[in-house]
Structure 1
């Protein structure tokens, strides 16, 4: 049975091509949605770009016919801008204020009432990214759904972790240590492994005996880690996932590394240490570029005085805190002198990365969970020849209004690149900042 989908504004602002995601059903946009999109088109951020893209898309659809009468989409469904059914009388007992949200609800509710009178009534479904909008719809007896087509995974718990634990026979571990590699097809038939995936092998007879290895770029052979367990720029891996991360960060043949994990798991510190080691000691890269999106936690602090570096300092303070630790500075101002003397470290806001080409650099993008798919594509396409880029963040801590743990840019890259030999990923599990920080991450 065909359905009628009424789209909320936030669905189109999240994915301008959302109208093509509903197969052969009827897609309806209330007129008030056009008003809301029009109010966003002047924004100079991702929301504004998507609003302008929606406007161009709808303008192109006019060539197919009158939008208020409905046009046929390439997916087999129909699209219509609803000018009628906007009376809010059906809502006034429950929601008195005539807001844009209530006007969208009124259109969906009135369409549902009309369909009940038809010979073959079709279900009317409101699609919204706003949880409270879906709750209000449900209280009115209107079916509501989240827009899930933009998700690469339906649940964050199912995201690719980058490693796997396997219980194996004792002789498999013995052969692995003796030959320093393991043919996966012979020992794990019919099991698919991803390039640069880590395996933790546990002896079935003696769980205290284990082995750690990394799948090669072709996904066929389990190999010993190339980099030993020595400290990197004074930082030593404290757990097995940090050893995995260090391996990926130090491998020149893996230009894209993604790391996820809760606060305090060591993502930023490990990445900075690996970058400094390869720039200053190995001279593998020319410069270390560290950037993060400017998204405030809580109420914004407004405009800041001073030059660009002074304006960025509050946003980039977490990076400077880690650099203070790595350089073991004692007095205020010491870090600035060190960075000025080195000249190989650049701390930047992602706002300034568009249009650049960045060759021969070690690039760290912190808090990448606050990036959209479009923004993360923009960043990755800036990476020049001979560069390595590290994307990291905690998908469970998102400050972007239209993103969640399953549809953000970081999760998107992890899932889309897991089968590529140029990329490696690891999820850090154990917090190493302090016992209190780990307990807070688990309980709160």
Structure 2
């Protein structure tokens, strides 16, 4: 049975072309959503960009017919813009002058009018979903890009092997995957081979169809080494120039950002494999916005970029006992390092750069796509983040861009992914991340 899906504004900001994902159903946009998009389109950040994309897409649909009467789209979707809906039908306890409640009024109008179809309001706003449910309007979160975090690809697997296979791998450093497992693993998946007390590690090469000894898992990177197996796996991906996209997922203290920054400094400054190291974070504040802070752009960014400065300060002390501030200033003066807000990445092309996107769990899948498409020739992009620490009000552990990217790029030859589970910052930090 065809359903009528009514989309809230935040759905289009999350995914500007969301209406194309409701195959064989009707999609309705309340007129108030168009008004909100019109207000947001002037913003300079990602919300403004999404609003402009959504507006252009809807405008293109006008060529197919009148939006009030509805137009046919691909995949059997029928799209229209609804202008009717009386706020007098709302419960007396709800205000009539808020956009959210007016959208609810339209949803209630459509529900009462089209009784032969199931009407579903789709919103990423938790409170909007609560109010709709209280009014007995069927409501759902936008689930097109959701995935179960518990089922997220870990980036490694463990197999039990025979003694002769262990000896063979120790001698040659490679072994056909078919000799130790039935199904072919994803490209660049790490394999832990065990025989009694013996444990060996390797990474699957989809071109040779073999599990091969890691090339960079035990290297010193800007004065630091991996402290556990997963960190060694991460370093192997970070230091491999053939891997163009790396996603590092893990709770606080597992070393995601530190390993990414150390690898970037090693490859840019020491080995000159890339022209510049770019480090960016999304500005998701829990207080006042960026513009309220006094000072220059660099001074405004400092509170949000402090974790990056802390990591470089630590690495500088490990390597040469120099103050991190001097190292940062020196590298910036040489044109080897650029630390900036993620908003400034849009519209740019980054050739031959090592790009680190920290706190990527606060990005939408659409924003992740925008960033990856900035990559020029010979550029490497590293995304780090903790899906359990999301500050974006419209994202959760299942719908953020970091886990979306990790799952969509699973098995792609030029990408690598690893989940870091063991905290290495301190015993206290590990206990806090686990118990709190």
Normalised to the residue count of structure 1, the TM-score between the two structures is 0.89
**Root mean square deviation, CA, Å:** 2.5
Shift of 1:73: 2.1
Superposed CA offset, 1:171-204 (max 9, x none): 3333322332110123212x1311111011223x
Match of 1:419 in 2: 411
Separation in 2 of the partners of 1:280 and 1:358? Answer: 17
Report if aligned partners of 2:15, 2:366 keep a CA contact under 8 Å in 1: no
Give the 3-state SS of the residue equivalent to 2:86 in structure 1.
Answer: coil
Question: Do structure 1's residue 325 and structure 2's residue 318 form an aligned pair?
Answer: no
Candidates 185, 188, 198, aligned match of 1:193: 185
Q: Residues 303 and 98 from structure 1, CA distance in 2 versus in 1: closer, same or farther, beyond 3 angstroms?
A: closer
Shift of 1:354: 3.3
Match of 2:118 in 1: 123
Report if aligned partners of 2:368, 2:401 keep a CA contact under 8 Å in 1: yes
Report if aligned partners of 1:275, 1:362 keep a CA contact under 8 Å in 2: yes
Shift of 1:55: 2.2
Q: Residues 379 and 111 from structure 1, CA distance in 2 versus in 1: closer, same or farther, beyond 3 angstroms?
A: closer
Separation in 1 of the partners of 2:15 and 2:94? Answer: 28
Match of 1:245 in 2: 234
Report if aligned partners of 2:316, 2:323 keep a CA contact under 8 Å in 1: no
Match of 2:296 in 1: 307
Separation in 1 of the partners of 2:72 and 2:380? Answer: 45
Superposed CA offset, 1:364-399 (max 9, x none): 221122233343333333333333322211122222
Give the 3-state SS of the residue equivalent to 1:238 in structure 2.
Answer: coil
Question: Do structure 1's residue 352 and structure 2's residue 344 form an aligned pair?
Answer: yes
Separation in 1 of the partners of 2:48 and 2:193? Answer: 49
Separation in 2 of the partners of 1:182 and 1:358? Answer: 37
Shift of 1:214: 0.7
Report if aligned partners of 1:256, 1:389 keep a CA contact under 8 Å in 2: yes
Shift of 1:142: 1.9
Q: What are the ranges of 5 or more consecutive residues in structure 2 without an aligned counterpart?
A: none
Superposed CA offset, 1:281-336 (max 9, x none): 3333333222222222444464333333222222211111111111119xx99333
Q: Residues 90 and 443 from structure 1, CA distance in 2 versus in 1: closer, same or farther, beyond 3 angstroms?
A: farther
Separation in 2 of the partners of 1:192 and 1:30? Answer: 48
Match of 1:139 in 2: 134
Superposed CA offset, 1:56-97 (max 9, x none): 22222223332222222222232222222x123332245355
Match of 2:90 in 1: 91
Give the 3-state SS of the residue equivalent to 1:124 in structure 2.
Answer: strand
Question: Do structure 1's residue 387 and structure 2's residue 379 form an aligned pair?
Answer: yes
Q: Indicate the larger mover: 389-398 or 314-323.
A: 389-398
Give the 3-state SS of the residue equivalent to 2:324 in structure 1.
Answer: helix
Normalised to the residue count of structure 2, the TM-score between the two structures is 0.91
Match of 2:393 in 1: 401
Q: Residues 219 and 111 from structure 1, CA distance in 2 versus in 1: closer, same or farther, beyond 3 angstroms?
A: farther
Superposed CA offset, 1:219-265 (max 9, x none): 71111111252432221211110010111112222232221111111
Candidates 263, 272, 276, aligned match of 2:252: 263
Shift of 1:13: 2.1
Q: How does 1:151-190 map to 2 (within 5 A)?
A: 151=146, 154-189=147-182
Q: Residues 188 and 283 from structure 1, CA distance in 2 versus in 1: closer, same or farther, beyond 3 angstroms?
A: same
Alignment coverage as a number of residue pairs? 432
Separation in 2 of the partners of 1:412 and 1:392? Answer: 13
Question: Do structure 1's residue 282 and structure 2's residue 271 form an aligned pair?
Answer: yes
Q: How does 1:199-238 map to 2 (within 5 A)?
A: 199-203=191-195, 206=196, 208-218=197-207, 220-227=209-216, 229-238=218-227
Report if aligned partners of 1:88, 1:98 keep a CA contact under 8 Å in 2: no
4+ residue runs over 4 A deviation = none
Separation in 2 of the partners of 1:128 and 1:339? Answer: 43
Report if aligned partners of 1:369, 1:409 keep a CA contact under 8 Å in 2: yes
Give the 3-state SS of the residue equivalent to 2:89 in structure 1.
Answer: coil
Q: Indicate the larger mover: 407-416 or 139-148.
A: 407-416
Match of 1:338 in 2: 327
